[in-house]
């Protein structure tokens, strides 16, 4: 049975967003949201009948054309022209799941009653969401400053029967979709096109989607590093709580505690060690993984604020009888946060690959490249190459996008965030991190076989046993591409 989530002024958390998307909840407007939308639209309609002065974006042109006054008879044409002219996206298509989040977040932002849209406009967006009608949106075209103009234009074009949508497993023209559904096109009123196009929902949807994946990958990074530690015959000492309480960064303390908990009961970690120290990639897991956790926590706070905000322009304040032009569409908070997240995730991949390198190096009674008869067999030599190449690409992708800006709209929009570019490349880093961690697990599970008959903890043994159902031990050379793909799929499917 489908559950309905009512859009209201209540704070939407990332956890709730995940449930709404993953459990396929339907959306509906709360009575509060309906009242807010209607009140704001009535105010704007009244204002347009009595107001003779130009109001930006309502009865003027856009960007550097802000000084061009538009007659009341042309306001619908103005908004439709805006939608069409700004649909200049190119590149890859945005993944369908992210488009669905974009719809949800645009509906949420419009529901506060500061945007001046018609109720039927918001309800049609809800129709798209509830019927899995996903507009075709493109990854390139947004500067992340006047909102995500090009992506949001493509997202909202189907309201007026333009653009394309993905429906019932195929891409079709929006006009065909409206005909099949028996829906009329929306006749846009004053300001509506601008309200739909201004906003940060492209950046926000990417960020939310990335953060939901990141929560799992961060825990997998810890878990896989524990398998590597066991395979490398590492020491438990660096995870002693006393060390971390004298430098109590939250993420560091959390990581050390988790590592101790999942290694509890291991005969392997507790056996006498000949070495007194481990390399940094093992010894500093709490410090490195923990720093990334703290970065992720910061980014989550930024995005929680953003997805519960009004980000179009101008903003309408009915009770104060004010229409104010500002810059809530500017993506700088998101751009900086996404760049920080990109660096934090790239570092999880960086240290993961270093552990993989240590495991294949023939140290601590492990055979070179983790295979019997090394020489005849190359074993795990080349998976490390693959991980290294991906890590290098992540370093390139982690170069901040937010340090760049470029002048647009004839100088009126003279500083932009580039947050959309930060968003798309951070998603690539997330996908790369999953591959790097999959390669580490592939190596770590192999290394663990050379420690038999000693056993790790029950938790680690169960985790590795589940992995072994998908990826068998390597006895002699075979095509490891297939094993890496199965390892990635295992991480995809694994739940804690």
Tell me, rounded to whole angstroms, the distance of Cα 416 from its chain centroid: 21
Alpha-carbon span 40 to 154, nearest angstrom? 25
209 as an active site residue: the answer is: no
Q: In this structure, what token pair is assigned to residue 194?
A: 């601008």
Tell me, rounded to whole angstroms, the distance of Cα 470 from its chain centroid: 28
Alpha-carbon span 76 to 80, nearest angstrom? 6
- Determine contact, residues 136/166, Cβ cutoff 8 Å: yes
Per residue, the 3-state secondary structure of 104-157, as one string, reads HHHHHHHCCCCCCCCHHHHHHHHHHHHCCCEECCEEECCCCECECHHHHHHHHH
CB 92: neighbour CB atoms within 10 A?
A: 9
Tell me, rounded to whole angstroms, the distance of Cα 428 from its chain centroid: 10
Give φ, ψ of 289 to 5 degrees: -60, -40
Q: CA distances (Å), 64 to each of 67, 199, 410, in order?
A: 8, 18, 6
- Determine contact, residues 123/29, Cβ cutoff 8 Å: yes
Q: Which of 6, 43, 56, 138 is catalytic?
A: 56
Residues serving a catalytic function are 56
């Amino acid at each position: 049975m489908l559950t309905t989530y009512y859009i209201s002024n209540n704070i939407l958390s990332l956890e709730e967003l995940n449930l709404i998307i993953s459990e396929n909840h339907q959306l509906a407007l709360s009575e509060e949201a309906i009242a807010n939308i209607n009140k704001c639209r009535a105010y704007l309609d009244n204002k347009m009948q009595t107001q003779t002065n130009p109001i930006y974006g309502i009865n003027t042109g856009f960007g550097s054309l802000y000084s061009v006054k538009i007659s009341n008879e042309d306001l619908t044409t103005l908004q439709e022209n805006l939608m069409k002219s700004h649909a200049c996206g190119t590149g890859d298509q945005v993944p369908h799941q992210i488009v669905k989040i974009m719809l949800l977040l645009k509906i949420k932002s419009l529901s506060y009653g500061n945007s001046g849209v018609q109720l039927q406009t918001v309800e049609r967006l809800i129709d798209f969401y509830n019927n899995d009608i996903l507009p075709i949106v493109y990854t390139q075209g947004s500067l992340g400053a006047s909102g995500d103009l090009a992506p949001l234009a493509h997202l909202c074009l189907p309201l007026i029967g333009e653009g394309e949508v993905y429906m019932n497993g195929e891409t079709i023209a929006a006009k065909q979709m409206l005909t099949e559904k028996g829906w009329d096109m929306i006749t846009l009123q004053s300001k509506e096109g601008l309200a739909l196009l201004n906003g940060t929902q492209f950046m926000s949807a990417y960020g939310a989607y990335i953060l939901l994946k990141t929560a799992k990958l961060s825990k997998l990074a810890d878990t896989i590093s524990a398998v590597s530690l066991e395979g490398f015959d590492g020491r438990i000492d660096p995870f002693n709580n006393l060390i971390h309480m004298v430098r109590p960064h939250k993420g560091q303390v959390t990581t050390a505690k988790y590592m101790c908990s999942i290694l509890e009961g291991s005969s392997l970690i507790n056996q006498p060690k000949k070495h007194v120290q481990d390399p940094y990639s093992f010894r500093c897991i709490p410090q490195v993984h923990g720093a990334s956790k703290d970065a992720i926590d910061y980014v989550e706070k930024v995005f929680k604020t953003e997805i519960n905000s009004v980000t179009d322009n101008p903003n309408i304040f009915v009770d104060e009888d004010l229409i104010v032009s500002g810059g809530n569409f500017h993506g700088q908070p998101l751009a900086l946060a996404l760049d920080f997240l990109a660096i934090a995730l790239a570092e999880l991949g960086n240290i993961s690959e270093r552990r993989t390198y240590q495991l294949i190096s023939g140290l601590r009674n492990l055979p070179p490249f983790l295979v019997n008869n090394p020489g005849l067999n190359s074993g795990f030599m080349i998976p490390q190459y693959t991980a290294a190449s991906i890590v290098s690409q992540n370093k390139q992708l982690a170069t901040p996008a937010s340090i760049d800006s470029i002048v647009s709209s004839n100088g009126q929009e003279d500083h932009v965030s580039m947050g959309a570019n930060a968003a798309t490349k951070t998603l690539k880093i997330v996908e790369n991190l999953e591959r790097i961690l999959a390669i580490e697990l592939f190596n770590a599970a192999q290394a663990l076989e050379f420690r038999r008959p000693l056993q790790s903890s029950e938790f680690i043994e169960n985790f590795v046993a589940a992995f072994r159902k998908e990826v068998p031990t390597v006895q002699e050379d075979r095509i490891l591409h297939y094993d890496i793909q199965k390892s990635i799929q295992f991480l995809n499917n694994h739940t804690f």
